[in-house]
């Protein structure tokens, strides 16, 4: 009785391969014809089962996203210097490099109005830093938009910067700025005006104030709005819905915290007064018009 050619394990007399069951696959894999036959069989199996092919493709994509696979590809590229192949196939002036440069430029300069892009490039080429050139272009765009709004007769709103600057000068000054803003701004519901005033004072975006986030820097603005609206006669459930909350107990808690903070923080008390002034100004304007 002969043994396996790899491990000397005794074989059945009828075994003609010369390998045991454990080593027969490795031995057959050395034959190119056998490997090609296996590949063809696998291809035929996948072609007859598209769902399995889709699953395998999706699995390959997911496995390629694993951190280990990404790191292995990165090391392989560095060790074999494959990046040189790409650079050599795309010299300066080639179409792929031109397209890539245009895409990169469009991404970096997406903030710039198209009609001012040439002016921005001219500034950067004449010695201005990118940040300085951007500030100049943004100021120019602001002036042009203000001129355009005046040309079409659109009302102008007082900027958040003006409201914040007035707030730092004193509560009365801030209230006066808010009243002027309400008088000249486009019509807006009272809550929107109060929300805009709170965003200006606390330097937040309106969507941040209304977001579901519980970040600590968002709470003072919510406290102030809730207290101002409560004193304006709005019920707690309506306050909660206005601030994208489902439970009136949240508004009740905010009002309580606002009253506690108002008693010890004069600046917060002033902020509540400014927001309340913005809330009430629309009503005052309607009364004066009547």
Average pLDDT over residues 25-33: 86
pLDDT at 286: 36
* Mean pLDDT of all residues in 271-279: 82
DSSP element (H, E) containing 254? helix 248-262
Range with lowest mean pLDDT among 6-15, 130-139, 184-193, 209-218: 184-193
> Residue 282: pLDDT above 50?
no
Please tell me the least confidently modeled range out of 126-130, 167-171, 240-244. Answer: 167-171
In this structure, is residue 179 part of a structural domain? yes
Residues 175 and 278 both lie in one domain: yes
Position 139 in a domain: yes
Say yes or no to pLDDT of 288 above 50.
no
Q: Which of 158, 171, 162 is nearest to 277 (CA)?
A: 171
Do 155 and 184 meet the contact criterion of CB atoms below 8 Å apart? Answer: yes
Is the same domain home to 281 and 171? yes
Q: How far apart are CA 128 and CA 226, in angstroms?
A: 46
Q: What CATH number does residue 226 fall under?
A: 1.10.1750.10
Residue 76: how many CB atoms within 10 A of its CB?
10
* Lookup result for tokens 């000054």: 173
Are 18 and 5 in contact by the 8 Å Cβ rule? The answer is yes
56 & 141 share domain: no
Tell me whether residue 107 is in a domain.
no
Inside any domain, residue 101: no
Residue 177: Cβ within 10 Å count: 24
pLDDT at 68: 93
Residue 242 has pLDDT above 90, yes or no: no
Instruction: Assign 284 a pLDDT band (cuts: 50, 70, 90).
Output: very low
Residue 229 lies in a domain: yes
Which tokens sit at 208?
A: 């941040």
Mean pLDDT (whole number) for 236-262: 87
Q: Is the pLDDT of residue 263 over 50?
A: yes
pLDDT at site 67: 93
| Share of residues in the chain with pLDDT > 90 (%) | 10
- The confidence score (pLDDT) of residue 172 equals 60
Both 205 and 257 in one domain: the answer is yes
169-197 per-position pLDDT tens digit: 556 655 565 555 554 444 457 788 788 88
What pLDDT does residue 165 have?
A: 52
Q: Which of 152, 182, 216 is the last residue of a domain?
A: 152
CB within 8 Å of 248: residues ≥ 6 apart = 235, 236, 237, 239, 240
Whole domain around residue 268: which residue ranges? 160-289
224 plus 245 within the same structural domain = yes
Structure token digits, residue 270? 């002033």
pLDDT for 157 equals 52
Return the bridge partners of 3, or none: 10
Has residue 223 got a pLDDT over 50?
yes
Residue 93, domain member (yes or no): no
Do 140 and 181 lie in one domain? The reply is: no
Tokens of 213: 């986030």
Beta pairing partners, 10: 3
Model pLDDT, residue 136: 87
Q: Count how many domains the chain has.
A: 3
- Mean pLDDT, rounded, of the chain: 80
Same structural domain for residues 266 and 215? Answer: yes
Residue 187 placed within a domain: yes
- Quick one: 204 and 284 in the same domain? yes
For residue range 59-90, list pLDDT tens digits in order: 999 999 999 999 999 999 899 888 888 788 88
Tell me the whole-structure pTM to 2 decimals. Answer: 0.39
Contact 251, 226 (CB under 8 A): yes
Is 21 within a domain?
no
């Amino acid at each position: 009785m002969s043994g396996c050619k790899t491990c000397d394990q005794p074989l059945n007399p009828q075994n003609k391969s010369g390998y045991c069951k454990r080593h027969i696959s490795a031995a057959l894999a050395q034959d190119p014809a056998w490997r090609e036959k296996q590949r063809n069989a696998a291809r035929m199996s996948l072609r007859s089962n598209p769902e399995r092919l889709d699953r395998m493709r999706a699995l390959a994509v997911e496995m390629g996203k694993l951190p280990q696979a990404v790191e292995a590809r990165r090391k392989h590229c560095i060790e074999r210097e494959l990046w040189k192949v790409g650079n050599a196939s795309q010299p300066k002036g080639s179409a792929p490099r031109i397209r890539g440069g245009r895409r990169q430029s469009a991404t970096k300069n997406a903030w710039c109005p198209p009609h001012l892009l040439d002016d921005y490039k001219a500034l950067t080429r004449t010695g201005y830093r990118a940040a300085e050139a951007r500030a100049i272009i943004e100021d120019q765009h602001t002036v042009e938009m203000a001129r355009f709004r005046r040309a079409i007769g659109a009302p102008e709103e007082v900027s958040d910067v003006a409201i914040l600057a007035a707030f730092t000068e004193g509560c009365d000054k801030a209230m006066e700025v808010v009243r002027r803003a309400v008088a000249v701004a486009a019509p807006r519901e009272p809550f929107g005006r109060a929300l805009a005033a709170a965003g200006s004072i606390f330097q937040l975006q309106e969507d941040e104030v209304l977001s579901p986030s519980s970040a600590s820097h968002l709470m003072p603005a919510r406290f102030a709005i809730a207290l101002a609206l409560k004193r304006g006669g709005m019920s707690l459930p309506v306050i909660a819905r206005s601030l994208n909350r489902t439970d009136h107990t949240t508004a009740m808690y905010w009002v309580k915290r606002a009253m506690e903070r108002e008693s010890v923080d004069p600046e917060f008390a002033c902020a509540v007064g400014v927001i309340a002034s913005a809330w009430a100004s629309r009503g005052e304007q309607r009364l004066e018009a009547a």
